[in-house]
Structure 1
Amino acid sequence: QDVITRDNVSVKVNAVVYFRVVDPIKAVIQVENFLYATSQLAQTTLRSVLGQVELDELLAEREKLNMKLQDVLDRQTDAWGIKVTLVELKYVDLPDDMKQIMARQAEAERERRAKIISAEGEFQAAAKLTEAAEILGQSPMALQLRFLQTLTEMSSNQSSIIVFPLPLDLLRPFYEKALPKIVKNIPEDPFSGKGGN
């Protein structure tokens, strides 16, 4: 059956209706052809009920719709001596453009979730780095050990060239001793070429 949902999406729906005759006299007298009448009623009821729901509900809540269809059909066929025992939506066929839209929407949702997970991971990593920095900042020896550990990790690769930065603390005695001599040799008039004092 071609059905237009409440949100104006045209879909093809295939359903099956299971029923039995509970009162043969009514089935013969109350309706000309109970089999044909039940089939026609099922088709119109299907269009009517599914036309009241949106596509998302049609796709997500089939069981609820099956029960609603069964209830409506069973009430309407009761006068004919027919008992509708089960209605089952077999498949819902979407137009190709709608399938593409839904695929893009699903992909966007997956990307959104991936970004959230990545952001949460970055946040946790930043928190751990902050915590580690606080711990290392409280203990200069721990910072030195971390420096040595990093150098060890870097040197494990045979093709690495490592440039060792020389900490300024190691140079302090040298520049404290040399600074007075350097200042003494700075000319008062840098353009005259004569030394100071």
Structure 2
Amino acid sequence: MTWLIPVVVVVVLIALAAWYGLVVLREYERGVVFRAGRLRPVYEPGLRFLIPLVDRMERVDLRVVTLTIPPQEVITKDNVPARVNAVVLFRVTDPSSAIMAVENYAVATSQIAQTTLRSLLGRADLDTLLAHREDLNADLRAIIESQTRAWGVEVRVVEIKDVEIPESMQRAMAREAEAERERRAKVINARGELQASEELRQAAEELSKSPASLQLRYLQTLLELGADQNSTVVFPLPVDIITPFLQAARGAGGR
């Protein structure tokens, strides 16, 4: 029975080694292993074995991570205070660099995104911030990724979500928009009057070429006014038509 004790000890040690040494990596995970402090090749998905008390593994998720940037107080180029928040989508492309090059790649990416957001929006005016978000999003992504590329982190998308400005500025922008709409309405009205006067001038020139056309226009106007029986029509009569009658009346009165 003396040989049974070593066998039991060996079995127990093997069981403990299997319990603490066997790990399962999912398809979207990679394992960065340090053996006695030295970096080992990256472990692929599947069942892997770690030497207890010698190996230490860091799991790295390769899925896209959604990072919400908290609201940042910024002052635009035209000295307008605003609160801006954004969202960043990134993923790890190099697990070894993500562990070796930076202490915590998620926190570091968040801090870089916040500082870049404040810095870039501080160089843009309010109109650019409100009307040209796509250009700002592209610039933010390029600047952030230039910093995170060395960490093995790829920035997929950067989107500015909300822009909050003071109520006084909102009222001023509303007044400005209303004034702009009124200006456009006046310009359109003036252009319409100009076109109408041009058309009337051309019509008058055409009618002046033929007196009979002018008389027909008079008759057409009377026909249009006669549709309403309650209206009183004042018809302008040309002087050259009634002149012979006036002369005849004066001649009869002289006799």
- Do the structures match in fold with TM over 0.5? yes
The match for 1:52 among 123, 130, 134 is: 123
My pick for the range that moved more, 161-170 or 14-23, is 161-170
The structure whose RCO (Cα within 8 Å, separation 6+) is larger is 1
Aligned length: 183
Give how far 1:81 is off: 2.7
Structure of higher CA gyration radius: 2
Give the alignment of 1:40-79 within 5 angstroms.
40-79=111-150
Question: Which runs of no fewer than 5 residues in structure 1 stay unpaired?
Answer: 185-197
Q: Deviations over 1:134-175 (max 9, x none)?
A: 111111111111001111111111210123344322331233
**Following the alignment from structure 1 to structure 2, what is the Cα–Cα distance between the partners of residues 112 and 174?**
56
My pick for the range that moved more, 172-181 or 56-65, is 172-181
Q: Greater share of strand residues, 1 or 2?
A: 2
Q: Deviations over 1:6-39 (max 9, x none)?
A: 1111111111111122233333333332222211
Give how far 1:129 is off: 0.8
Q: Say yes or no: does 1:120 pair with 2:191.
A: yes
Q: Quick one: which amino acid aligns to residue 156 of structure 2?
A: T
Corresponding position of 1:80: 151
Corresponding position of 1:24: 95
Cα RMSD after superposing both structures: 2.1
Give the alignment of 1:136-155 within 5 angstroms.
136-155=207-226
Question: Which runs of no fewer than 5 residues in structure 2 stay unpaired?
Answer: 1-71
Other structure's SS at 1:161 match? coil
TM-score normalized by the length of structure 2: 0.65
Q: Quick one: which amino acid aligns to residue 95 of structure 2?
A: P
Corresponding position of 2:170: 99
Other structure's SS at 1:88 match? strand
Q: Greater share of helix residues, 1 or 2?
A: 1
Q: Quick one: which amino acid aligns to residue 203 of structure 2?
A: A
Give how far 1:181 is off: 8.3
Q: Quick one: which amino acid aligns to residue 76 of structure 1?
A: Q
TM-score normalized by the length of structure 1: 0.83
Corresponding position of 1:189: none
